[in-house]
């Protein structure tokens, strides 16, 4: 079989592809290693010679300083509360809305669904000033609700869950009705468990989006103790990085990146399928 | 307790379209009733109305004298087996069967006992911890039946439950269903478009067409004495032969004359018929292939179908009309042969223009 030129050609093509993938992986992962290496270097040594990052000695002093002095933990906590809260509430709301659009008959349902979908086309910048003003009036700035609420109107989430509920055969609802299950029990026990793959996809996208969000937290959180991680790290950076030391900054970045890495490790399977657009079965 | 189901004058509309039109039907306790008809005749809709999955626009449905058409499906004390099985994919086989019982607050001990017994009866006891995705089509079918059995309902509804199975499994499951109905004493309603399923399983068959009931009867009544031309066509394979005929009613019995001088004396009294045009009908097994000159007609063989125990011979009469006759399994006839055809007038039928039937006394 190995003499078949078509297969031989394919094997060669596979190798080229593999080489490219490895190259891409190196390009992606190199900055991460660089960040970790920098975080393990003494700041004075780096100021004298930045190339010292590539040689011994390495030290944990930046991590010790981070634990001792930085606000990064507070910011990680803030980000975790905002991203976690946003994810949970988005899943709840999108699932309920998706079920409603997919399974209930009520007047104006289709028109309402189109209005929800129009939300996909409205950029955040277009509503930012108005939203800032409203949140200012009701005193929600510098609070967790202030950071979480705007993200809850997830047109994407409602759309995704609606489509997913629609794809579930109605016979399951009917079988459950004949099994004397209430409407809520059908939703909770029969349909919702079947949407776990969609929930995972939506949850991951929502969590990553909220964790990495910079724009709204920058506007809403003006007090240092309410900064999310992105805003906090940025604020440290503008404070003339060299005075605190690049190694110290990188140690904070490692702390900042760790939770997302953990999320990734736990949900690897779902993230890969979510990004590739396939459904997990 | 088993169900006596009474359907009175029910109507179902989807928008402007009427899909069930003033239909009445009574199903006896413990009866195995089959709704038979072509796609779109309303048989599945009628079943779903009994189940409570479709509303009833007019008329009533009662079980044992109690009106149920205003009750939600779960409170009608009936179980349904769906064409697609509709098993809950994320639950194990045991949980699928137990779900309905848990919903009505039956104790765990009783649930466990019923599920185990159903598993034993259906030979799926070893599959209890599997999920539907890990089962074959036949096993899923059994689980769906098991889910219905554990509820010990007054009536079972089956919506074309065999149509997703391959041919061999369908025959086996059909036999098993026939056995099951004798073990589980309950009223059963079975919807199908497959006349063999209907003939083999039913106590009585309801033949439906175009939103209405064409005939209700035992399988042999439906086959031998079809009330309408539609029933005669739909039930039986091949369909009944229909030949345009002029009728001679001068004798005691009607004599049907075909073009080409063929005449068949029927066993239908001349005084039974009214005016109008009639079509002569006869089943293929009542048209025997004979040597030329014997029998009461002649034809040329168009097609031969060898079924093993008998041979179906499609022959064209002198006026171009085709009839299907029967011959022995090892029939020597070949395509193009001229053959004689012996019509057995004692097994014949006549249909008027409206499709209503008159039958010979011998059928």
User: Which CATH number fits the domain that encloses residue B219?
Assistant: 3.40.50.300
User: Rounded to an integer, what distance in angstroms lies between the CA atom of residue B336 and that of residue A31?
Assistant: 86
Q: Answer whether A280 touches B (CB < 8 Å).
A: no
Task: Output the pTM of the full model.
Answer: 0.82
% of chain A residues with pLDDT over 70: 90
Domain boundary pick from B185, B203, B227:
B227
Residues B345 and B307 in one domain: yes
When mean pLDDT is compared over A107-116, B165-174, B254-263, the highest value belongs to A107-116
Chain B residues touching residue A105 (CB < 8 angstroms): none
Within-domain flag for A281: no
pLDDT at A1 over 70: no
Distance from CA of B141 to the nearest CA of A (A): 14
Contact B89 A174 (CB under 8 A): no
Comparing CA positions, the residue from B35, B66, B38 lying closest to residue B48 is B35
State pLDDT tens for residues B31-64: 999 999 999 899 999 999 999 999 999 999 999 9
State pLDDT tens for residues B296-340: 888 999 999 999 999 999 999 888 889 999 999 999 999 999 999
Domain boundary pick from A61, A77, A103:
A61
Nearest chain A residue to B151 by CA distance is: A179
* A191-250 residues touching B, CB cutoff 8 A: 193-194
Compute the CA torsion angle B51, B184, B132, B170 (nearest 10 deg).
-90
User: Rounded to an integer, what distance in angstroms lies between the CA atom of residue A276 and that of residue A267?
Assistant: 14
Predicted pLDDT at A279: 43
Within-domain flag for B302: yes
C-beta of residue B260 within 8 angstroms of C-beta of residue B318: yes
- Structurally, how many domains does chain B consist of? 2
State pLDDT tens for residues B115-162: 999 999 888 999 999 999 999 988 999 999 999 999 999 999 999 999
Residues A197 and A90 in one domain: yes
Confidence grade of residue A244 (pLDDT, cut at 50, 70, 90): low
Q: Answer whether A108 touches B (CB < 8 Å).
A: no
Model-level ipTM above the cut of 0.90: no
C-beta of residue B15 within 8 angstroms of C-beta of residue B34: no
Contact B88 A180 (CB under 8 A): no
Three-class DSSP category at B75: helix
Decide which of A184 and A268 is more confident: A184
Chain A residues touching residue B88 (CB < 8 angstroms): 172, 175-176, 190
Comparing CA positions, the residue from B208, B296, B283, B290 lying closest to residue B242 is B283
Residues A174 and A56 in one domain: no
Within-domain flag for B300: yes
Strands B58-63 and B5-14: antiparallel
Chain B residues touching residue A179 (CB < 8 angstroms): 74, 99-100, 103, 147, 151
For residues A78-89, average pLDDT: 94
As a whole number, the mean pLDDT across chain B is 92
User: Rounded to an integer, what distance in angstroms lies between the CA atom of residue A211 and that of residue A232?
Assistant: 12
Predicted pLDDT at A281: 38
Chain B residues touching residue A180 (CB < 8 angstroms): 74-75, 100, 103-104
CB-closest option in A171, A174, A185 to B103: A185
Residues B220 and B273 in one domain: no
Distance from CA of B34 to the nearest CA of A (A): 21
Chain A residues touching residue B86 (CB < 8 angstroms): 169, 171-172, 174-175
State pLDDT tens for residues B193-215: 999 999 999 999 999 998 899 99
C-beta of residue B50 within 8 angstroms of C-beta of residue B78: yes
Pick the range with the lowest mean pLDDT from A262-266, B15-19, B175-179: A262-266
Contact B80 A169 (CB under 8 A): no
Chain A residues touching residue B73 (CB < 8 angstroms): 174, 177-178
Residues A78 and A216 in one domain: yes
Residues A44 and A78 in one domain: no
Predicted pLDDT at A3: 61
Contact B86 A190 (CB under 8 A): no
Contact B74 A178 (CB under 8 A): yes
Residues A167 and A140 in one domain: yes
Nearest chain A residue to B159 by CA distance is: A171
Contact A174 B53 (CB under 8 A): yes
Contact A181 B74 (CB under 8 A): yes
Residues A105 and A186 in one domain: yes
Domain boundary pick from B172, B205, B227:
B227
Predicted pLDDT at A57: 81
Predicted pLDDT at A5: 67
Nearest chain B residue to A178 by CA distance is: B74
Within-domain flag for B183: yes
Instruction: Check which CATH number belongs to the domain holding B326 and give it.
Output: 2.40.50.140
Distance from CA of B151 to the nearest CA of A (A): 9
Residues B173 and B322 in one domain: no
- Structurally, how many domains does chain A consist of? 2
As a whole number, the mean pLDDT across chain A is 85
Q: What is the span of the domain harbouring residue B144?
A: 5-227
Long-range contacts (CB closer than 8 Å, 24 or more residues apart) made by B135-139? B135/B93, B137/B164, B137/B165, B137/B166, B137/B169, B138/B165, B138/B169, B138/B172, B138/B173
% of chain B residues with pLDDT over 70: 100
Which of B45, B103, B106 should one mutate to test binding to chain A, selecting the residue with the greatest count of A CBs within 10 A? B103
Within-domain flag for B233: no
Contact A178 B52 (CB under 8 A): yes
Within-domain flag for B17: yes
Contact B90 A177 (CB under 8 A): no
Predicted pLDDT at A6: 67
Contact A177 B72 (CB under 8 A): yes
pLDDT at A243 over 70: no
Residues A153 and A141 in one domain: yes
Pick the range with the lowest mean pLDDT from A34-43, A242-251, B133-142, B211-220: A242-251
Decide which of A281 and A48 is more confident: A48
Confidence grade of residue A242 (pLDDT, cut at 50, 70, 90): low
Distance from CA of B188 to the nearest CA of A (A): 16
pLDDT at B177 over 60: yes
As beta bridge partners, residue B289 has B341
Confidence grade of residue A240 (pLDDT, cut at 50, 70, 90): low
Q: What is the span of the domain harbouring residue A140?
A: 62-276
Chain B residues touching residue A172 (CB < 8 angstroms): 86, 88
Predicted pLDDT at A123: 86
Distance from CA of B95 to the nearest CA of A (A): 11
Cα end-to-end span (Å), chain A: 35
Decide which of A7 and B286 is more confident: B286
Residues B187 and B325 in one domain: no
Predicted pLDDT at A277: 55
The DSSP result for B172-220, as a single string, is HHHHHHHHHHHHS-SEEEEEES-HHHHHHH-SEEEEEETTEEEEEE-HH
Decide which of B295 and B81 is more confident: B81
Decide which of B293 and B33 is more confident: B33
Cα end-to-end span (Å), chain B: 37
The per-residue b/e assignment along A16-41, b for 16 or more CB within 10 angstroms, e otherwise, is eeeeeeeeeeeeeeeeeeebeebbbb
Predicted pLDDT at A89: 96
Chain A residues touching residue B49 (CB < 8 angstroms): none
Decide which of A68 and B147 is more confident: B147
Which of A175, A198, A280, A281 should one mutate to test binding to chain B, selecting the residue with the greatest count of B CBs within 10 A? A175
Chain B residues touching residue A190 (CB < 8 angstroms): 88
CB-closest option in B74, B88, B90 to A180: B74
Chain B residues touching residue A176 (CB < 8 angstroms): 88, 99
User: Rounded to an integer, what distance in angstroms lies between the CA atom of residue A54 and that of residue B10?
Assistant: 86
Predicted pLDDT at A278: 47
Residue B286 DSSP class: G
Neighbour count for residue A180 (Cβ, 10 Å): 21
Chain B residues touching residue A189 (CB < 8 angstroms): 99
Nearest chain A residue to B152 by CA distance is: A179
Comparing CA positions, the residue from A235, A258, A227, A237 lying closest to residue A67 is A258
Contact B74 A172 (CB under 8 A): no
User: Rounded to an integer, what distance in angstroms lies between the CA atom of residue A177 and that of residue B105?
Assistant: 15
């Amino acid at each position: 079989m190995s003499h078949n030129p078509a297969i031989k050609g394919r094997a060669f093509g596979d190798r080229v592809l593999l080489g490219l993938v490895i190259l891409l992986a190196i390009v992606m992962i190199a900055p991460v290693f660089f960040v970790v290496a920098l975080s393990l270097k003494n700041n004075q040594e780096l100021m004298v010679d930045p190339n010292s990052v590539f040689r011994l000695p390495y030290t944990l002093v930046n991590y010790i300083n981070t634990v001792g002095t930085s606000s990064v933990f507070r910011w990680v906590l803030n980000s975790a509360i905002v991203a976690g809260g946003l994810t949970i509430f988005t899943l709840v709301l999108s699932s309920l809305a998706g079920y409603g659009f997919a399974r209930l008959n009520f007047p104006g349902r289709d028109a309402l669904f189109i209005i929800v979908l129009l939300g996909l086309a409205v950029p955040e910048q277009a509503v930012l000033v108005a939203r800032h003003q409203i949140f200012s009036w009701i005193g929600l700035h510098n609070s967790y609700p202030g950071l979480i609420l705007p993200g809850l109107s997830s047109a994407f989430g409602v759309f995704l869950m609606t489509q997913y509920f629609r794809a579930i055969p109605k016979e399951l609802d009917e079988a459950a009705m004949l099994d004397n299950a209430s409407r809520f029990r059908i939703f909770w026990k029969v349909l919702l468990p079947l949407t776990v793959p969609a929930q995972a996809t939506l949850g991951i996208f929502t969590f990553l989006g909220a964790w990495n969000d910079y724009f709204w937290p920058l506007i809403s959180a003006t007090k240092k103790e309410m900064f999310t991680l992105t805003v906090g790290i940025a604020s440290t950076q503008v404070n003339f990085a060299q005075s605190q030391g690049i190694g110290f900054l990188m140690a904070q970045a490692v702390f900042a990146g760790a939770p997302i890495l953990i999320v990734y490790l736990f949900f690897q399977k779902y993230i890969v399928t979510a990004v590739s657009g396939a459904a997990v079965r | 307790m088993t169900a006596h189901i009474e359907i009175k004058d029910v109507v179902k509309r989807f928008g402007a379209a009427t899909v069930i039109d003033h239909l009445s039907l009574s199903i006896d306790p413990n009866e195995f009733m089959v709704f038979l008809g072509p796609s779109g005749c309303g048989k599945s809709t009628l079943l779903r109305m009994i189940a409570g999955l479709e509303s009833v626009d007019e008329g009533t449905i009662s079980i044992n004298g109690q009106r149920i058409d205003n009750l939600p499906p779960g409170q009608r004390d009936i179980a349904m087996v769906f064409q697609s099985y509709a098993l809950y994919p994320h639950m194990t086989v045991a949980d699928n069967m137990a779900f309905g019982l848990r919903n009505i607050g039956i104790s765990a001990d009783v649930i466990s006992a019923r599920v185990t017994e159903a598993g034993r009866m259906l030979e799926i006891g070893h599959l209890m911890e599997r999920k539907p995705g890990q089962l074959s089509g036949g096993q899923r079918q059994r689980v769906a039946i098991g889910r219905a059995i554990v509820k010990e309902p007054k009536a079972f509804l089956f919506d074309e439950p065999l149509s997703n199975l391959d041919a061999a499994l369908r025959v086996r499951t059909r036999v098993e269903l026939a056995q099951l109905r004798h073990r589980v004493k309950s009223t059963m309603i079975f919807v199908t478009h497959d006349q063999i399923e209907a003939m083999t399983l039913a106590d009585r068959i309801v033949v439906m067409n175009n939103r209405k009931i064409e005939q209700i009867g035992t399988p042999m009544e439906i086959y031998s004495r079809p009330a309408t031309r539609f029933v005669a066509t739909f039930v039986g394979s091949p369909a009944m032969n229909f030949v345009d005929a002029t009728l001679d009613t001068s004798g005691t019995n009607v004599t049907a004359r075909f073009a080409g001088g063929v005449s068949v004396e029927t066993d239908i009294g001349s005084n039974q018929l009214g005016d109008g045009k009639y079509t002569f009908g006869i089943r293929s097994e009542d048209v025997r292939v004979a040597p030329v000159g014997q029998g009461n007609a002649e034809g040329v063989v168009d097609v031969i179908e060898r079924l093993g125990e008998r041979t179906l011979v499609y022959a064209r009469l002198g006026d171009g009309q085709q009839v299907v006759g029967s011959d022995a399994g090892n029939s020597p006839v070949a395509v193009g042969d001229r053959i004689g055809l012996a019509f057995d007038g004692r097994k014949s039928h006549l249909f008027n223009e409206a499709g209503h039937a008159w039958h010979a006394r011998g059928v």
